[in-house]
Structure 1
Amino acid sequence: MTTQGLSSEKAQALLTEYGENCLPKPSRNSFVRLFIIQFRSAFIYVLLVAVVVCLILGQLINAFFISVVLLLNALIGTIQEYSAQQAADALADMVPQQSRVIRDNHPVVVDSRSLVPGDWIMLSSGDRIGADIDLRQSSQFQVDESALTGESISVSNKEQAFAGTLVTHGRAEGEVIATGINTQIGQIAKLVHQGVDTKPPLMQRIDQFTLRIAIAIVIIIALIFSLTLIRGADLSDVFLLGVALAVSAIPEGLPAAITVALAIGMKRMAKANVIVRKLVAVESLGSCTFIASDKTGTLTVNEMTIGQIWLANEHKYHVAGEGLAQNGLVHRHGHGVPVTVEEELGLKQLTLVGLLANEAHLVYNTDKIHADGDGVDLAFLVLGHKLRLTSELENHTQLTLFPYESEKGFSASVNNSPLGPQISVKGAVEKVMTMCSLSEEMSQKILDQTHWMARHGYRVLALAHGAGTAESDAFTGLEFLGLVAMSDPLRHDAIEAVASCRQAQIKVAMITGDHPVTALTLSQQLKIVSEHDKAVTGSELSQAMALNESEFDRLVATHRVFARVKPEQKMEITQSLIRQGEFVAMTGDGVNDAPALKHAHVGISMGLRGTDVARESASLVLTDDNFSSIVKGVIEGRIVYNNIRKVIFLLVSTGAAEIFLFILSVLFALPIPLFPLQILWLNLVTNGVQDVALAFEPAEGNEFSQPPRAPKEPIFDRLMLERVCISALVMGLIAFGLFAISLQMGVSEEAARNLTLMLMVLFENVHALNSRSEHRSLFVVPFFSNPILLLGIFVAQGIHIGAMYTPGLSDALQLSPINFSHWLILLATASVLFIVDEVHKKRWRMRANPNLGEPITDRRPE
């Protein structure tokens, strides 16, 4: 009953009239609101109290400049979060919901936002319905209406289907009657108040990490504050000391900087054809230890071509041509003359069954091929064109369609033919054989031929037919017609991608519904397994699960190829791998893959052939369905995590250095080394840009030569702790030494603070360069690979020098120009931090690998 649908011109006119088919977007924080939110922090409250107290004490300059710095900090945080928010919105639009409609007499897949009333839409299992639809035709059609009713039980609906609901089974066609705000769910949306987004787990852990640091620092401040007060210091001086300690220690910019790092990772992944639906998945993919991948379309190109045909009369045929090209002849094996269907009735019957039990659409125009549908169905349509059989379809009216569902493993149709009602079935060999009356000898011949085809890398389907009608798909007594061998070439970059995973110590498994011999052959070509390994079938998995969970885990742990796997078994495999301590990335495309995608640490859906429910269940979407894109995403994920560690290292170690400087000054009863205003200035100048700039660090080149990090590995591991302690001690101790020696030599407190502040600025700029790599020498890191960081350091240093010569600002900050000899001394002193960090990196590399010679080279992935 499929109609001609709308013309492109009419659809565009209706779209202009009714507008885009979408609901109002969830409200986002405006720039002004984000700015206000920056002040919702206990740390900021402390500084605001400091402003009030400064005003009470008559320290107007301090109050003014602390306020200015707070405003600048808030502005920087607002810009960071607003940019990250805009990036997330832009990337979310890159994974549109799609609908299959008739336009210009051809089925096409369109963005659901372009649906208009009057569109003729075709629905299949796994689709998220994009508009309210008046159903005109359906086959075993069931819909999950929980989005509207709250009831999760699928219901059969013969009259209407509503936007936002999910097709769980069958097929249907109908006319769009309402779009956008005029749909049932659109009316509900008017009444719904949008909630607040939940922070991803990584950001929650970062917040907890920051809070723990803050609590520890508050305790230290309280002790120092009390000690100084007991010594009889002036109350205003004690207060200023407490404020200075608080300002120096709190890494309030850390959450915003990490959000930016994740947003940058999202953009980079998008360029690698990996769209991130959940922000935390950026980092999670880089942590995966096991990738469980589909075969068809992910490791192969998903261009099915029928190459061999074997009939029940044991005649064998070779089919020439590749892909959708119809220029290919059919030869009987051992004969050089092309055959026609008139010469071989069995060949005609088999091909006709493949054309009838079919949902694809294929039209050859002079300048274009219109193709829509599953690759297997398209391959049969191509065969029908090669044998000039497509015109036969006019004599067969479809009565019932039993569409392909992965859990069934076959598709079928009942058609009225010139000879009466006829049942046509195509699907997995084991499934179709159970529907036919076969002798033991014939069954063995079929299995032998299937094994031969599968061993040569073919995907094998069986076809059968019979007279009569059927109310259900429990077919029996059919006539077995033959086997069809299809080839789906491996993607040219899949072998290299699997090798990269092996180098990175990431395990790879193939999970497919194909024949075990076919899956094993392709896996051996990909080098997922060796020639001595075997494939595990879904039935073997069921038997192991029936015994006990331990036996199932053992079977999963010792194999890398799983064939004839049912969709629910993908979830069981995922759970087994997680029990064994793996961090699992699972791919899927069908509605029944959703549980596995949900239960995996990282669910990856196919963007081209994936269903809407699979995409909604996944954390990541591959826009090209390509396994190599997963590998690129893993690299980007590892880069993001490394950059997050670099940001944390920079902020925590510089704050710790400032705290150490103050502790030493208190212990030795020296004046406060830096005023709160100077500390605020220092943090704004040295950390206001550099922390975010570190998030732009490119790949170091060794991401795939390292094993995956342990899923439970803390951010603050031994390496981080060593580096933070060493850097903080070096900066704090030397800065204290400079301050103490300057005072001992008779230099005024103001001049000593001026020199100490300049040294800290130099220290922290050098430290930003040290933070570019945890292991590699700065000498082998390409100097200009992160120009944003270099520009930030140059600008920060220039701003501080400029402040020395700026009237008003120099007085408020108690800054003055430094002579040439002091510059040389300070530069030489700051370089000590670089030398110490280089020595530590060298010792760490030698400790990790005693045979290691030069640092890791500057090799980068393509």
Structure 2
Amino acid sequence: LAGSGTAVVTATGVATELGRIGQLVALAGERATPLERQVEGLGRRLIGLAVGVCGIVALVGILHGQPIGLMLETAISLAVAAIPEGLPAVTAVALAAGLWRLARAGALVRRLPAVEALGSTTVICSDKTGTMTENRMAVTHLVLPHRTLGIGGGAVSPRGAFSEHGAALDPRADPDVVRLLTAGALVNDASVEPQGEELRLHGDPTEAALLVAALKAGLDPAALARQWPRRREIPFSPESRLMATFNVTPAGAPVLLVKGAPDAVLARCALGEAERERLLERNRALAHRGHRVLAVAWRPEGWPEGERFEGLTFLGFVALDDPLRAGVKEAIARCREAGIRTIMLTGDQRPTAEAVGRELGLAADAIRSRVSPEGKLELVRALQAAGEVVAMTGDGVNDAPALVRADIGIAMGRHGTDVAREAADLVLTDDNFATIVGAVEEGRVIYANLRKVIHFLFSCNLSEILTIFAAILLGFPAPLLPLQILWVNLVTDILPAMALVRDPAEPDIMRRPPRDPRESLVTRRFGVRMLGEGALLAAGVLSAYFWVVGREGVGPRAHTIAFLALVLFQPFQAMHCRSERVGWWRLPRNPLIWVSLLALAALQWWATSWAPLARLLATAPLSPVDWAVAAAAVLWPVLVLEAVKGWGRPASRGVRSPHPGARGGGANDSK
């Protein structure tokens, strides 16, 4: 803003409009994301598991005659093993990596857990204008009371041809056209300026389009504003759906100029019922073709008293087009395939909204017209009450409460307000709906990879516990020593886990239904599966351990080969954890797992060959035959697991029940 003026303060603080919005934001409240809820519940269960493991192993070992001190050390080490220490770090890395990939794609994340929450979204409520469309309004038709004119030239060009019935028309020679475009340029708060061969637009795109149309007709909006000075304004509001300005003509006569929704303006015009209905039908015809339609009227007889004005003279309709963004229709189809509903929100009238929705492949019940900011908040609450996980877009100050209330609030980076961006979880730098769908996919990938990491860490840690517990139960000493257990958990676990964090998306990631946000990270079925895998891996380790024990008894070599086998099966188990459905060889390549295999083999060779580390970990040198035995002990359990995966693929775990009550029209579904 620039210039000077005099203002009268009528309210401060919470009594102002911004104060009211602030109160709505505070009342909306923030909701914990699905990941925050899942990790919190998992942590509580792991604490109980660790305490139980510590007590049971110590008790069994002592009852079998093992030294009390050694068993206490072993039990404490196993309690450490029961809790995957690397999980918090891996979770942070996974979310940060997702944030980086999203930023490159045009989505800035303001809260890390929001990335995962977006992956569990079941409904995306998106504004039409600027998100599904380019927000490049252009006037394509002028509809006078008994004539229709076409305008060419595009949205940012100051030149464009006028035509009527296919014949060229000089707009400056037509007083009806000049009057309509003059009124549209004056009841207007936008501005334009030359920028090379095109125009640079400032302000509301719809109002800017009216100025561009006036320029195409040879009118100068800036000169008109000086010649017809504005004395007062009634701004647009969702309730009145029109804007009015009180101007003075070059001759000094007062005149009222009005533009707004066709039905709202026509209701204030001096028209007979038949004529009004004919014009409304013309408006509906334009809207059914996807045009945004504005009505323009004036009152040349002078200013009315107060803000209640009637008896206006209708000047005409202005039909505007806003092209769809490339890729939005395909993105909506991907959402449908992924089990995600898309709801289009617009302030346009119902026929316009339905026409655009048809172009995008949306059903009538997925369209909300004449939506207000308060209506967005009501819609979010209704959908959440029906069990949906809602992503909501917004760009205005008044959208902040809905953005805060939504599970994922998405603000526009180009045309959004600071208030909306502060309230949002995600900011789109390109204001593009397709970017939201890309973020949904990224969220699903992150959650899937976190499950892979949990699958890997828990199955490996359970194999350590079961290896030691089974050996002690059979009357043998623990195959692993306390420092070896800590080496496995604090050093070698992290490399395969980090490889799984960067695992590429499975090909069908966007053909699965949204997962239920109430589902635990570790369900009963998932836990039983990990326990079974841990038992099989433990059997592999014990097979190598007992191979040495059977030849030379318990000693450093037996401990070392068990230690080696336990570490080497980790990258192979990581390969198995890449998918619960198909073999790892059918998935996109992940070279990081092979890197982790080489790194772990090198670390274990170092742990057995470098004297200081070997003394610390109590390892013994191994022969090539020992390495071959350890490799065989590692491979046979993994081959069995892959064979079991091929025999019975698990059902999709993300299925949710539809919510018919949330699919119908809401309070803002204006017909």
TM-score, normalised with respect to structure 1: 0.71
Distance 1:676 1:470, change over 3 A: farther
Alignment of 1:212 onto 2:45? yes
| Greater RCO structure (CA 8 Å; 6+ sep) | 2
Q: How does 1:306-325 map to 2 (within 5 A)?
A: 306-312=139-145, 314-325=146-157
Structure-1 separation of matches of 2:335 and 2:498: 30
- CA displacement, residues 245-268 of structure 1 (integer Å, 9 cap, x when unaligned): 223222122122112111111111
Matching residue of 2:15: 153
Q: How does 1:504-653 map to 2 (within 5 A)?
A: 504-529=338-363, 534=364, 559-653=365-459
- Aligned residue for 2:180, secondary structure, equals helix
Structure-2 separation of matches of 1:704 and 1:578: 22
CA displacement at 1:737 relative to structure 2: 3.5
Match of 2:116 among 283, 302, 308: 283
Structure-2 separation of matches of 1:647 and 1:417: 73
Q: Say if 2:471 and 2:477, in contact at 8 Å, map to a contact too.
A: yes
Q: Please, what is the CA RMSD of the aligned residues?
A: 2.6
Structure-2 separation of matches of 1:139 and 1:788: 65
Structure-1 separation of matches of 2:19 and 2:208: 26
Q: Say if 1:206 and 1:255, in contact at 8 Å, map to a contact too.
A: no
Q: Say if 2:287 and 2:352, in contact at 8 Å, map to a contact too.
A: yes
Structure-1 separation of matches of 2:199 and 2:495: 53
CA displacement at 1:712 relative to structure 2: 1.4
Matching residue of 1:732: 538
Matching residue of 1:810: 614
CA displacement at 1:142 relative to structure 2: 8.4
- Aligned residue for 1:604, secondary structure, equals strand
Q: Say if 1:686 and 1:765, in contact at 8 Å, map to a contact too.
A: no
- Aligned residue for 2:461, secondary structure, equals helix
Q: Aligned pair count?
A: 642
Alignment of 1:797 onto 2:604? no
Alignment of 1:456 onto 2:289? yes
Identity of aligned residues (%): 34
Match of 2:199 among 369, 375, 379: 369
Distance 1:750 1:489, change over 3 A: same
Q: How does 1:736-815 map to 2 (within 5 A)?
A: 736-783=542-589, 786-815=590-619
- CA displacement, residues 717-776 of structure 1 (integer Å, 9 cap, x when unaligned): 355224312220111122233323422322342110001000001111211222222322
Deviates more, 1:243-252 or 1:231-240: 231-240
Structure-2 separation of matches of 1:292 and 1:267: 25
- CA displacement, residues 629-656 of structure 1 (integer Å, 9 cap, x when unaligned): 1111111010011011111111111111
Distance 1:482 1:565, change over 3 A: same
Match of 1:500 among 334, 338, 352: 334
CA displacement at 1:599 relative to structure 2: 2.3
- CA displacement, residues 455-512 of structure 1 (integer Å, 9 cap, x when unaligned): 1111111111124447864433322211111111111211111111111121112121
Matching residue of 1:351: 181
Alignment of 1:688 onto 2:494? yes
Q: Say if 1:288 and 1:584, in contact at 8 Å, map to a contact too.
A: yes
- Aligned residue for 2:171, secondary structure, equals coil
Structure-1 separation of matches of 2:14 and 2:459: 51
Matching residue of 1:250: 83
CA displacement at 1:379 relative to structure 2: 0.6
- Aligned residue for 1:431, secondary structure, equals helix
Matching residue of 1:489: 323
Q: Say if 1:674 and 1:757, in contact at 8 Å, map to a contact too.
A: yes
Q: Which has the higher helix share?
A: 2
- Aligned residue for 1:297, secondary structure, equals helix
Distance 1:651 1:219, change over 3 A: same
Q: Say if 2:60 and 2:473, in contact at 8 Å, map to a contact too.
A: no
Unaligned runs of 5+ in 2: 23-29, 654-671
Q: Say if 1:735 and 1:759, in contact at 8 Å, map to a contact too.
A: yes
CA displacement at 1:452 relative to structure 2: 1.0
Q: Say if 2:456 and 2:573, in contact at 8 Å, map to a contact too.
A: yes
CA displacement at 1:685 relative to structure 2: 3.2
Distance 1:722 1:257, change over 3 A: same
CA displacement at 1:141 relative to structure 2: 8.9
Matching residue of 2:226: 394
Unaligned runs of 5+ in 1: 4-135, 146-150, 156-164, 170-196, 535-558, 850-862
Alignment of 1:337 onto 2:168? yes
Q: Say if 2:557 and 2:622, in contact at 8 Å, map to a contact too.
A: no
- Aligned residue for 1:713, secondary structure, equals coil
Distance 1:787 1:398, change over 3 A: farther
Matching residue of 2:243: 411
Distance 1:738 1:2, change over 3 A: closer
- Aligned residue for 1:803, secondary structure, equals helix
Alignment of 1:829 onto 2:633? yes
Q: Say if 1:605 and 1:615, in contact at 8 Å, map to a contact too.
A: yes
Q: Say if 2:540 and 2:636, in contact at 8 Å, map to a contact too.
A: no
Structure-2 separation of matches of 1:846 and 1:838: 13
Distance 1:758 1:352, change over 3 A: same
Structure-1 separation of matches of 2:178 and 2:56: 92
Structure-1 separation of matches of 2:156 and 2:21: 30
Matching residue of 1:435: 268
CA displacement at 1:847 relative to structure 2: 6.2
- CA displacement, residues 704-726 of structure 1 (integer Å, 9 cap, x when unaligned): 11111122122113552243122
Structure-2 separation of matches of 1:272 and 1:677: 45
Q: Say if 1:141 and 1:167, in contact at 8 Å, map to a contact too.
A: no
Alignment of 1:659 onto 2:465? yes
Match of 1:380 among 176, 187, 210: 210
Distance 1:813 1:625, change over 3 A: same
Distance 1:563 1:843, change over 3 A: same
- Aligned residue for 1:689, secondary structure, equals helix
Structure-1 separation of matches of 2:352 and 2:31: 44
TM-score, normalised with respect to structure 2: 0.90
Structure-1 separation of matches of 2:606 and 2:39: 35
CA displacement at 1:408 relative to structure 2: 4.2
- Aligned residue for 1:779, secondary structure, equals helix
Distance 1:404 1:267, change over 3 A: farther
CA displacement at 1:367 relative to structure 2: 5.7
